[in-house]
A and B are shown apart, each in its own frame.
Chain A
Amino acid sequence: GNSVTQMEGPVTLSEEAFLTINCTYTATGYPSLFWYVQYPGEGLQLLLKATKADDKGSNKGFEATYRKETTSFHLEKGSVQVSDSAVYFCALSPRGGSEKLVFGKGTKLTVNP
């Protein structure tokens, strides 16, 4: 089956610190991989995506590389800001089959000034 495992939070960092949120997946076939971000009281926003092995998704200073050999899609940012405080969800979309997104449990990030 398909599943996504994210590092458990919460994660608390100081402004300008380096961020890594680990995400590994199990899937049949070749899924597309996503990171979504949820700010307090809001729905999910697509942060970045990658559709095939070795693709790097990037947006707003965040990056994640689709690693097929390690079945990983870790989220990184070199210098976080207070405004990055949110919950981050890793997700996969199976190819050629179900359209359903499979989500990780989410990682809450708090960035302090």
Chain B
Amino acid sequence: GAVVSQHPSWVICKSGTSVKIECRSLDFQATTMFWYRQFPKQSLMLMATSNEGSKATYEQGVEKDKFLINHASLTLSTLTVTSAHPEDSSFYICSARELAENIQYFGAGTRLSVL
């Protein structure tokens, strides 16, 4: 299957700083990528849909100014958590949609801890 690389896998930052997470599709082009947040022992919550060359589409209740998404190329989307606070600590997972198969392939996730 296709491979999606997510980096970093784990990040610790101080409150008030910004953190950037990268999501790359390694062997296919992805016009659409997705960003999810997962709380402990819960399912994935879709945060936003990232569209190459256009603005991201955010789910209701997700602050677009706090979670900045950029999808500048067909293989890379980034999520920047701006002015992070402890309540932003979570597991963030990206996925990329392989168009021909209509399958989403997932990155390994990023664990963010905000002190």
Contact = CB atoms under 8 A, between A and B. Distances in A.
Interface of A: 32, 34, 36, 41-46, 49, 51, 89, 93, 99-101, 103-106, 108
22 contacts: A41-B111, A42-B108, A42-B109, A43-B93, A43-B108, A43-B109, A44-B95, A45-B106, A46-B1, A46-B104, A46-B105, A46-B106, A49-B103, A93-B102, A101-B95, A103-B43, A104-B43, A105-B42, A105-B43, A106-B42, A106-B43, A108-B41
B34 interface: yes
B46 to A, nearest CB: 6
Interface in B67-98: 93, 95, 97
Contacts of B102: 32, 51, 93
Contacts of A103: 43-44
A91 to B, nearest CB: 8
B43 A101 contact: no
Interface of B: 1, 6, 32, 34, 41-44, 46, 49, 93, 95, 97, 102-109, 111
Contact of A36 (B42, B106, B109): B106
Contacts, number: 47
A80 to B, nearest CB: 21
Contacts of A106: 42-43
A99 B106 contact: no
A99 B49 contact: yes
Nearest to B41: A108
A108 B41 CA distance: 9
A5 B111 CA distance: 27
Contacts of A89: 43-44
B109 A101 contact: no
